[in-house]
């Protein structure tokens, strides 16, 4: 590990000021559960680290009639266990409980969770493997390698690395937005505009500038929130990343007709994935196993698996189906 400068600002304003004059490559430290790992294996070598984990401005959770809001520095476990989140957004609570281990959830922040980098083994495996995300222009070992857990949606000819956050899968289904601060002031953007597909430049993973800081995540109140669930399929019951996952949220009328539908897909795309066409296919229909499966088929219609991951298309369809049926039982 290389030496680096270490700064501990006493306010968000001070953190923004520090970022404004920081050397290129300076990193924010919050929970540290991702950054430390990447520094240890040499993927990140920041010249400076700005530690924001003690800033009380970033650790507030607020609820109201219009939205749920939580600061970027709130711990994953605290959001997962918040009574309003458990009651009104079970999909969000479940997505957090099913991420990482309890020890990590107690340390990791929601802002860091959104910006965590891929767990692609070739990306993290060192210089012996070509990786355009790590060394632009070197190639992508996953394209001709073992691609069982790699992305099938939003891929390019330069990268098929899977975006790993469970929480983001739920948040994108609920139209979450994030507030960001930088030298030019604050701005708000939909979560769906935070992450980008790899295209020709896999190094670029999100739309934040180097001198910007996530302040908070805001989730609009919606009746579909209570009728929601997060289903995660993985190789083992805990501490494993998704083979497929789905956040599903529904509202039904008195006759069982779907009036609102939200579907997020996880573990299968290069960014948090909203299955908008699948949602539209179900609105106005009676929720049955057949209509739920049809929505799953629509969600995976554009999936492009490679050699080893083809089984995850059917698995993903079944994941969406089961998530929708569970959400329907909870719907109001």
140 falls within a domain: no
pLDDT for 332 equals 75
Same domain for 282 and 236: yes
Q: What's the pLDDT tens digit per position in 129-172?
A: 999 999 999 999 999 999 999 999 999 999 999 999 999 999 99
Q: Considering Cα of 239, then 243, then 249, then 254, what sign does the dihedral take?
A: negative
CA distances from 250 to 80, 169, 228, 245, 279 (A): 20, 15, 6, 17, 10
Same domain for 251 and 105: no
Residues of the domain holding 243 = 224-330
For residue 104, the tally of other CB atoms under 10 A from its CB is: 17
Same domain for 235 and 306: yes
Same domain for 206 and 296: no
pLDDT for 239 equals 85
pLDDT for 215 equals 98
pLDDT for 126 equals 87
Q: Considering Cα of 251, then 60, then 62, then 185, what sign does the dihedral take?
A: negative
Specify the CATH number for the domain of residue 208. Answer: 3.30.465.10
Same domain for 202 and 65: yes
Specify the CATH number for the domain of residue 248. Answer: 3.30.390.50
Identify the band that residue 1 occupies on the pLDDT scale cut at 50, 70 and 90. Answer: low
**Domains contained in the chain, number:** 2
pTM of the model: 0.96
Q: What's the pLDDT tens digit per position in 104-119?
A: 999 999 999 999 999 9
pLDDT for 2 equals 81
* Mean pLDDT along residues 51-59: 95
**Chain centroid offset of residue 83 CA:** 22
Say if residues 247 and 91 touch (Cβ distance below 8 Å). yes
């Amino acid at each position: 590990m290389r030496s680096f400068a270490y700064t501990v600002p006493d306010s968000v304003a001070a953190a923004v000021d520090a970022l404004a004059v920081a050397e290129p490559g300076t990193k924010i430290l919050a929970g540290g559960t991702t950054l430390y790992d990447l520094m240890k294996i040499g993927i990140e070598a920041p010249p400076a680290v700005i530690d924001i984990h003690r800033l009380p401005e970033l650790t507030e959770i607020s609820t109201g009639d219009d939205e749920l809001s939580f600061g970027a520095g709130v711990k994953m476990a605290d959001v997962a266990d918040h009574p309003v989140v458990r009651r009104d957004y079970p999909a969000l609570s479940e997505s957090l409980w099913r991420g990482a281990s309890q020890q990590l959830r107690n340390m990791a922040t929601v802002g860091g969770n959104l910006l965590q980098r891929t767990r692609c083994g070739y990306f993290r495996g060192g210089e012996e493997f070509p990786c355009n995300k790590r060394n632009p222009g070197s190639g992508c070992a996953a394209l001709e390698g073992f691609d069982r857990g790699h992305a099938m949606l939003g891929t390019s000819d330069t990268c098929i690395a899977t975006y790993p956050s469970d929480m983001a899968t739920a948040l994108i289904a609920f139209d979450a937005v994030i507030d960001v601060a930088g030298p030019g002031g604050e701005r708000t953007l939909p979560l769906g505009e935070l992450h980008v597909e790899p295209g020709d430049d896999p190094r670029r993973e999100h739309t934040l500038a180097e001198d910007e800081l996530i302040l908070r995540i805001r989730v609009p109140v919606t009746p579909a929130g209570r009728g929601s669930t997060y289903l995660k399929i993985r190789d083992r019951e805990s501490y494993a990343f998704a083979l497929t996952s789905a956040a599903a949220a529904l509202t039904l009328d008195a006759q069982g007709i779907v009036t609102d539908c939200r579907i997020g897909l996880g573990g299968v795309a290069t960014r948090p994935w909203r299955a908008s066409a699948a949602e539209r296919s179900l609105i106005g229909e009676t929720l049955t196993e057949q209509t739920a499966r049809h929505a799953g088929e629509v969600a995976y219609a554009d999936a492009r698996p490679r050699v080893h991951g083809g089984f995850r298309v059917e698995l993903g369809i079944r994941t969406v189906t089961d998530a929708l049926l569970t959400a329907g039982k909870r719907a109001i």
